[in-house]
Amino acid sequence: MLSYEQVKALSDKEVPYRLEQLLLLNSLSTNKSTLIYGDRSIGKTYTLTKYLNHTKLKYLMIDCSIIVDVNLLLAKVYNLLSVETFKLKKVDRVRSFTNFQNFLSQLNQINLKKPIIIVLKNLENLNLSENLFKFFHEISSVQLKFWFLSSTITIPKKLLTISIPKIYFPNYSTEQIVVILLKKDLIQFPSAVCSGKVTTDDKIIFTSNFIKLIVDIYSPYSSNLNFFIDKIIENWIIFTKVIIENNYSIKTDFVKAYKEFSKSLSIDQSLKESIVSDTNIILKSDQQQLSILSKFLLIASYLASYNDIKNDFLIFSKLRSIRKRSIRRRQSSGALNSKMLSPKAFEFERMLAILNSIYQDSEYFDKKQANHGENDIILYHNGNTGLNTGMSTNNLLSNIDLYTEFSTLVSLRLIVKANSKASSGSSSNESLLNSRLKFKINCNWLLIKKFSRDLGFEIENYII
């Protein structure tokens, strides 16, 4: 263990804004197993490795995103321990384990001379039974510890029933992101930009202003440090081109350069690209498809973002014939297509009301009615929108699943917080009902349309 002074020095010099997490890691370093969780690319792995390197504790990190079954994971753990213990360059053959007992008997033959921590990284990508994690937790000892690292803002379902210490990493604030990025050498000034008497201080001020600008533009959509790094590098090329073409000075013309730069800035396109990269794993793998509930939540969030709240009763009314005539009349009136506008912020409660309405209008609901013969949705009336809100149903919309699924979609950036200041540091389910907290959909039309087709839901009839 490190002393408080050592942990504080580590936080100040190498791991800023993570003193609380470092202190928790330090106090739990003697524990058998620990869960570390939080949003993507906010320094979980970096903080953990920095701490372990300073303590001289031996650790082996396994990336679970490339593991497809239990046998491969057990073999990976055994092989890494064998290489480490017997100082082998590689294992001659890959072992196959038929069950946990077989793995444990082979593991007992390895005589660990020093304590080793096995870190299972990207736990959320591992589509395995919770029994496996219980097994790792139970066999953890002083000599061999299993730590779990997950890029989710809620505790993974596989670990909910396991009583282990948990360390949560909150997202960085906008100000903290700026400070962290300023310490990285992300910007290089071309010689053409530095014409005239440009000092080092001028470059520092200009760099600071530019990074603050990019963070302010994209912070409503992401807290992912890697995302900001990509956007800074990508937009710096465009920004310097504007400076050179207009012969601007980096000493005095930052505002002029920004106004010209903003004309070529397309946030919608950049977000489409980020969505595609963030959801590639989810959408390409049959084993990791979004659940039925997640698709309904995304559709409801899209409708809440692109429909005006004053039209909710008209669009989602149970008087279907009146609703359809009114919607067709408004759609054919020549008004600007709402899909061409930017998404508007919505409250979680309003999205729930829309969710209940579209769920009952889908083919999926009709099939469940045919199977069960009764409406199993419990409703309450929402006075703000005049709609009924489905808060509790059978397997599709139980309260716990609904909150968990919605929080997961937020962590995946498919839904983003529109006012992060109102919810800074908060990750509890109760905070979703906070009237100050609002969200925006972060999915493009083609993706939402695909999900609608999957569920037998005609989303075109619900957009004005």
The contacts found for 416-420 with CB under 8 angstroms, 24 or more apart, are 416/220, 416/221, 416/222, 416/440, 416/442, 417/220, 418/220, 418/345, 419/345, 420/171, 420/174, 420/219, 420/220, 420/223
Round the CA-based radius of gyration of the chain to a whole number and report it: 26
Spatial separation of the C-alpha atoms in residues 419 and 178, rounded to whole Å: 18
pLDDT higher than 50, residue 282: no
Spatial separation of the C-alpha atoms in residues 394 and 397, rounded to whole Å: 6
Q: What is the mean pLDDT of the chain?
A: 76
pLDDT higher than 70, residue 94: no
For 227-267, how does the pLDDT look when each residue is reduced to its tens digit (9 = 90+)? 899 999 989 998 999 998 888 888 888 899 888 888 777 55
Banded pLDDT at 427 (limits 50, 70, 90): very low
pLDDT higher than 50, residue 21: yes
| Residue bearing tokens 């000493």 | 251
Average pLDDT over residues 209-227: 86
Query: If you average pLDDT over each of 265-279, 281-295, 311-325, which comes out highest?
Result: 311-325
Residue ranges per structural domain of the chain? 4-168, 176-269, 287-318+338-366+397-420+432-463
Average pLDDT over residues 339-354: 81
pLDDT higher than 60, residue 277: no
Q: Which three-class secondary structure string do you get for the chain?
A: CCCHHHHHHHHHHCCCCCHHHHHHHHHCCCCCEEEEEECCCCCHHHHHHHHHHHHCCEEEEEEHHHCCCHHHHHHHHHHHHHHHHHCCCCCCCCCCCCCHHHHHHHHCCCCCCCCEEEEEECHHHCCCCHHHHHHHHHHCCCCEEEEEEECCCCCCHHHCCCCCCEEEECCCCHHHHHHHHHCCCCCCCCCCCCCCCCCHHHHHHHHHHHHHHHHHHHCCCCCCHHHHHHHHHHHHHHHHHHHHHCCCCCCCCHHHHHHHHHCCCCHHHHHHHHHHHHHHHHHHCHHHCCCHHHHHHHHHHHHHHHCCHHHHHHHHCCCHHHHHHHHHHHHCCCCCCHHHCCCCCEEHHHHHHHHHHHHHCCHHHHHHHHHHCCCCCEEEEECCCCEEEEEECCCCCCHHHHHHHHHHHHHCCCEEECCHHHHCCCCCHHHHHCCCCEEEECCCHHHHHHHHHHCCCCHHHHCC
pLDDT higher than 50, residue 375: no
Domain covering 4-168, topology: Rossmann fold (3.40.50)
Query: What pLDDT, on a 0 to 100 scale, did the predictor assign at position 384?
Result: 45
Spatial separation of the C-alpha atoms in residues 233 and 231, rounded to whole Å: 6
pTM of the model: 0.60
